[in-house]
Amino acid sequence: MLLEVEGLCVNYGHIEAIRDISFAVPEGTVTTLIGANGAGKTTTLKTISGLRKIRAGSVRFDGKDINDIPPYERVKLGIGQSPEGRRCFVGMTVRENLEMGAFTRNDRKSAAYREDVDRVLGLFPRLAERIDQVSGTMSGGEQQMLAIGRALMSRPRLLLLDEPSMGLAPKLIQQIFNIITEINEQGTTVLLVEQNAAQALKRSHDAHVLETGEIKRSGTGAELAVDPAVKAAYLGGDL
């Protein structure tokens, strides 16, 4: 198992954001967390990447307890994240943003580094067209592509994606999800947080429903897509 979250509890001050959640992400899969705003999805990803302190429980990556490992060391271990809201370096070009994604690497003059840049530009041809453009002048969809591409530059074994379709036009949403599937098929394990449950469940091997900081339902993506309660709450009644 690549990622194991066990009995995880996280607080914001005196408020319990996550209460005793446990789930696992098998290597090579796409696993999705769905739920309403405030359910604890983003907090879960931030805790896995080391940006939130754990009150109780554990996070294990490739069998190793990483509770006390700082965020930049988790990137070195193979955990990359594309955050909610994209968070591109708006004063930097596309090329410079990709370089920032590789900040833990010391092989920037190597063939492997150039291959990774080519991989990102192959996944996102629009970025190749904009390679020297300042990212703050690009559209929301282009910035989302850049945020994912930047995360891939650390060569993650596990890619955390937080709301990659947020604020995008329907055509771009479809494109982003197709690329997420392609990234997974190329060998990267994905943990996806997404409010577009219909698109996410179609592409997920496993999925979990978070409600007020607790996991209420778990199953395969296909199982949850036809679960009456999930359909009523998150899928508008039908896929």
Give me the pLDDT at residue 239, please.
38
Q: What is the mean pLDDT of residues 13-23?
A: 94
Please, what is the average pLDDT of the chain? 93
Tens-place pLDDT, residues 187-215: 999 999 998 999 999 999 999 999 999 99
CATH superfamily name and code, 1-78+158-165+189-239: P-loop containing nucleotide triphosphate hydrolases (3.40.50.300)
- Asked if 67 contacts 48 with a C-beta cutoff of 8 angstroms, the reply is no
26: helix, strand or coil: coil
Can you give the pTM of this predicted structure?
0.92
Listed by start position, the domains of the chain span 1-78+158-165+189-239
With cut-offs at 50, 70 and 90, classify the pLDDT of residue 237: very low
- CA dist 97 and 131 (Å) reads 10
Q: What is the mean pLDDT of residues 34-44?
A: 93
- 77: how many CB neighbours lie within 10 A of its CB? 15
With cut-offs at 50, 70 and 90, classify the pLDDT of residue 107: confident
With cut-offs at 50, 70 and 90, classify the pLDDT of residue 65: very high
Give me the pLDDT at residue 238, please.
41
Q: What is the mean pLDDT of residues 64-91?
A: 93
Residue 65 structure tokens: 């307890």
What are the angstrom distances between the C-alpha of 153 and each of 115, 117, 126, 144, 176?
10, 7, 17, 14, 17
Q: Which residues pair with 211 in a beta bridge?
A: 214
